[in-house]
Structure 1
Amino acid sequence: MSTIKAIQWFKQTFYKELTESVKDTPFSADQLCAIAYQETGYIWAGIRESHSHDEIFKLCTGDTIDAPGRSAFPKTRKDLESWTGGTQMFQVARQALVDVGSVRKEFANIAKKYPSKFCHGFGIFQYDIQFFKKDPQWFLQRKWTSFAECRAHVIKELKEALKRQGWQSKTVLTDTEKVHVCIAYNRGKSDLAKGFRQGHYNKEEKRYYGEYIHEYLTIAKNIPAPSPANPVPAPSPHVILPPPTSVEPSGNLYQVDVSAGSSLNVRRTPEIPQLKPESNIVVKLPGSHVVKHLGGKKSADFWEIETSLNGAYIRGFASPKYLKSAPSLEIEVLQPASEEPKTGVIAAHLTPKQGTVIARVNIAGAYSLNEKNMPVRAGDTAQKRCSELANIITWLNSENSAHKRYWPRDGLTFCNIYAHDYCGRAGVYLPRVWWTGPALIRLAKGETVEPAYGKTVDEVRANDLFRWLRDFGPLFGWRQTGTLTKLQEAANLGAVGLIVARRVQEGRSGHIVAVVPETDVQRAKRNTEGNVTHPLQSQAGARNFRYSTSTTNWWLGSQFAESAFWIHA
Structure 2
Amino acid sequence: MANADDMAWFKRNFHGPMARAVRGTPITVDFLTALACQETGEVWPLLRRKLTDVDRVLTLCVGDTIDRRSAFPASRAELLAAPRGQEMFAMARQALVDMARFVKGYEAVARQPAKYCHAFGVFQVDIQHFRKDPDYFLDRTWASFEGTLERAMGVLRFALKKRGFEGCTALSDLELATVGIVYNTGGVRASAGLNQGFRPPGGTFYGQALFDLIRLAHTVPDPGAAGPMLAVPPAGEALVAAPLPVGAGGTPMKVTVSEGMLRLRSAPEISDPPQKNVVAHLPDGHPVRAHSGPLKGFFGIETSFKGALIRGFASARFLVADAPDAPIELTRPAPTPPAAGIVAVHMPAKAGLVTRRRDPATARSVDEKNAPGRTGTTPDELRRELAAIVAWLGVDNPQFLRYRPTRTATFCNIYAHDFCRLAGGYLPRVWWSSPALLRLAAGAQVRPLLGDTIVEMRANDLFRWLRDFGADFGWRQAGTPTELQAEVNQGAVGAIVARRKEEGRSGHIAMVVPEAAARPARRDRGGAVTAPLQSQAGADNFRYGTGRANWWNGEQFAESAFWLHA
Q: TM-score range by the shorter chain?
A: over 0.9
Is 1:32 equivalent to 2:28 in the alignment? Answer: no
Deviations 1:109-140 (A, max 9, x none): 322x2122221111111111111111111111
Q: What letter matches 1:154 in structure 2?
A: A
Q: Secondary structure at the match of 1:45?
A: helix
Give the distance between the partners of 1:566 and 1:10, measured in 2 at CA. 35
Instruction: Quote the residue 1:60 is aligned against.
Output: 61
SS of equivalent to 1:367 = coil
Distance in 1, Cα, partners of 2:133 & 2:336: 52
Residue 345 of structure 2, aligned match among 332, 343, 348: 348
Deviation at 1:440, TM superposition (A): 2.7
Counterparts of residues 54-453 of structure 1 (less than 5 Å): 54-66=55-67, 69-111=68-110, 113-168=111-166, 170-205=168-203, 207-227=204-224, 235-236=232-233, 238-259=237-258, 261-273=259-271, 275-297=272-294, 301-323=297-319, 324-453=321-450
Task: State the Cα deviation string for residues 479-533 of structure 1 (Å, max 9, x = none).
Answer: 1111111112222222211000011122211110011122232222111111111
Aligned to 1:545: 542
Hey, what's the Cα distance between the residues in 2 that align with 1:221 and 1:231?
6
The question of whether the paired residues in 1 share the 8 Å contact of 2:2 and 2:37 is answered with no
Whether the 8 Å contact between 1:499 and 1:515 is mirrored in structure 2 is yes
Q: Is the 8 A contact 1:8 1:234 kept in 2?
A: no
CA contact (8 A) 2:63 2:117 kept: yes
Secondary structure of 2:449's aligned partner: coil
Alignment of 1:483-562 (within 5 A): 483-562=480-559
Deviation at 1:44, TM superposition (A): 2.5
Letter in 1 for 2:337: E
Amino acid of the structure 1 residue aligned with 2:176: K
Q: Distance in 2 between matches of 1:488 and 1:494?
A: 10
User: CA distance change for structure 1 residues 114 and 433 in 2, over 3 Å: closer, same or farther?
Assistant: same
The offset of 1:12, in angstroms, is 5.7
1:433, 1:236 → 2: CA distance? 28
AA of the residue aligned to 2:66: I
Q: Structure 1's 334 and 3: CA in aligned 2 closer, same or farther, altered over 3 A?
A: farther
Deviation at residue 446 of structure 1 after TM alignment: 4.1
| 5+ long unaligned stretches in structure 1 | none
Pairwise CA distance, 1:11 = 4.2
Opposite residue 201 of structure 2, the aligned amino acid is K
Partner Cα separation in structure 1 for residue 45 and residue 474 of structure 2: 31
Of 450, 460, 480 in structure 2, the residue corresponding to residue 463 of structure 1 is 460
CA-CA distance at 1:230 after TM superposition: 5.8
- Count the aligned residue pairs: 562
Letter in 2 for 1:185: Y
Structure 2 Cα separation of the partners of residues 245 and 173 of structure 1:
13
User: 2:351 aligns to what SS in structure 1?
Assistant: coil
2:409 partner SS: coil
Partners of 1:247 and 1:307 within 8 A in 2: yes
Once the two structures are TM-superposed, the CA of residue 90 in structure 1 deviates from its matched residue by 2.1
Partner amino acid for 2:266? R
Task: Quote the Cα distance in structure 2 between the aligned partners of 1:49 and 1:243.
Answer: 33
The alpha-carbon deviation at position 348 of structure 1 amounts to: 1.1
Tell me if structure 1 keeps the 8 A contact 2:500–2:506: yes
Counterpart of 1:255, as a letter, is: K
In structure 2, give the amino acid aligned to 1:305: I
Deviation string for 1:41-72 (max 9, x for gaps)? 22233444553432332222111111xx2232
- Identify if the C-alpha distance between structure 1 residues 43 and 369 changes in structure 2 by more than 3 Å, giving closer, same or farther: same
Shift of residue 192, structure 1, vs aligned partner: 0.9
**Deviation for aligned residue 1:200:** 0.5
What is the Cα-based RMSD across aligned positions, in Å? 2.2
Change in CA separation of 1:231 and 1:311 when aligned onto 2, cut-off 3 Å = closer
Segment drifting more, 213-222 vs 20-29? 213-222
CA distance in 1, matches of 2:174, 2:255: 30
Contact 2:44 2:57 in 1 (8 A): yes
> Offset at 1:224?
4.2
User: Structure 1's 231 and 465: CA in aligned 2 closer, same or farther, altered over 3 A?
Assistant: closer
**Pair 1:397–1:121, CA change in 2 (3 A):** same
Report which stretch shifted further, 533-542 or 447-456: 447-456
8 Å CA contact 1:249–1:330 kept in 2: the answer is no
Report if the CA contact (8 A) 2:197-2:206 is conserved: yes
Q: In 1, distance between residues paired with 2:473 and 2:275?
A: 31
CA distance in 2 between counterparts of 1:234 and 1:153 reads 32
Q: Percent identity?
A: 47
